């Protein structure tokens, strides 16, 4: 099993969806792939957080919709069914968590509200059927899309040359404010960048931290506050922030 196949098999391995032969090949491939081992640890961490959620009965309407969609999925290819079930299970769990205030309480006490907001923004992208609302690597397509939707024009740059191609943009709400979000790709991973006009004008170098398998970056550059989150390594996150700053400076 090569490294890309190993990385793509992480979720199926955690969910027990691989055959005995596939599981053995996956475990053997792990010994030669540090990135896959880190990806596996992230998946297990998220799974553990979800298993710790309070057991609340789902609303009848939600239960009915899930049962309907499960029946409809019976005719779909097996891989599609597995992906749909993982996405539905995570979405349902997070709906319950928000309903009982778990994300606002337990996670805040463990790592800080700001980190929680960043990870929640990443999860909204990861769970979405379409992770971006405008899908393009062309800045001249993505940047105009924000016009009229928010009250500022975010800097938009494709970072393909640095290994972080732009997937597109979307809107999110952070601390009660609607903000621009750009989604980049790093191999099989997504990097979710939120940015808004900064109250202070001086630049602040990126601070990169790690929590629960996620790399978190926060900095201020060229009049914008920036936050980025992904399940890539902290070193890769530092490279992403540096590449973005260079692109912004080149455009000024």
Q: What digits encode the pLDDT tens for the residues 63-76?
A: 666 666 666 665 55
Tell me if 170 is assigned to some domain. Answer: yes
Q: Of 59-73, 161-175, 176-190, 198-212, which range is least confident?
A: 59-73
pLDDT at 189 exceeding the cut of 80 = yes
| Domain range enclosing 15 | 1-49
Tell me if 238 is assigned to some domain. Answer: yes
List the CATH number of the domain containing 208: 3.30.200.100
Tell me if 158 is assigned to some domain. Answer: yes
Tell me if 105 is assigned to some domain. Answer: no
**Average predicted confidence (pLDDT) for the chain:** 79
Long-range contacts formed by 149-152: CB under 8 A, 24+ apart: 149/178, 150/178, 150/179, 150/180, 152/180, 152/196, 152/197
Which tops the pLDDT comparison, 55 or 141? Answer: 141
Q: Number of structural domains, the chain? A: 2
Residue 142 sits in the same domain as residue 43: no
User: So what's the pLDDT on residue 144?
Assistant: 96
Tell me if 174 is assigned to some domain. Answer: yes
User: So what's the pLDDT on residue 21?
Assistant: 86
Q: Name the band, by pLDDT with cuts 50, 70 and 90, for residue 99.
A: very low
- Say what the alpha-carbon torsion angle 172, 178, 179, 183 is, to the nearest 10 degrees: 20
Tell me if 236 is assigned to some domain. Answer: yes
Give the separation between CA 120 and CA 126, rounded to whole angstroms.
10
Tell me if 112 is assigned to some domain. Answer: no
Tell me if 94 is assigned to some domain. Answer: no
């Amino acid at each position: 099993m090569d490294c890309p196949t190993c990385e793509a098999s992480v979720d199926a391995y955690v969910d027990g969806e691989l055959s005995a032969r596939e599981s053995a090949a996956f475990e053997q491939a792990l010994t030669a792939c540090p990135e896959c081992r880190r990806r596996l640890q992230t998946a297990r961490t998220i799974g553990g957080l979800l298993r710790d959620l309070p057991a609340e009965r789902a609303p009848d309407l939600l239960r009915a919709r899930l049962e309907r969609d499960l029946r409809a999925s019976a005719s779909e290819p097996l891989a599609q069914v597995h992906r749909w079930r993982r996405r539905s299970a995570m979405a349902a769990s997070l709906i319950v968590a928000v309903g009982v205030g778990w994300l606002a309480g337990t996670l805040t006490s463990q790592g800080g509200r700001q980190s929680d907001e960043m990870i929640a923004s990443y999860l909204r992208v990861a769970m979405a059927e379409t992770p971006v609302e405008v899908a393009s690597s062309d800045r001249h397509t993505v940047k105009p899309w924000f016009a009229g939707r928010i009250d500022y024009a975010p800097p938009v740059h494709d970072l393909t040359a640095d290994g972080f191609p732009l997937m597109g943009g979307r809107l999110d709400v952070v601390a009660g404010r609607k903000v621009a979000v750009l989604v980049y790709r790093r191999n099989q991973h997504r990097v979710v960048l939120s940015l808004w006009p900064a109250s202070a004008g001086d630049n602040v170098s990126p601070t990169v931290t790690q929590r629960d398998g996620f790399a978190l970056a926060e900095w201020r550059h060229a009049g914008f506050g920036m936050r980025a989150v992904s399940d890539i390594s902290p070193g890769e996150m530092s490279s992403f922030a540096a590449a973005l700053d260079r692109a912004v400076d080149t455009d000024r």
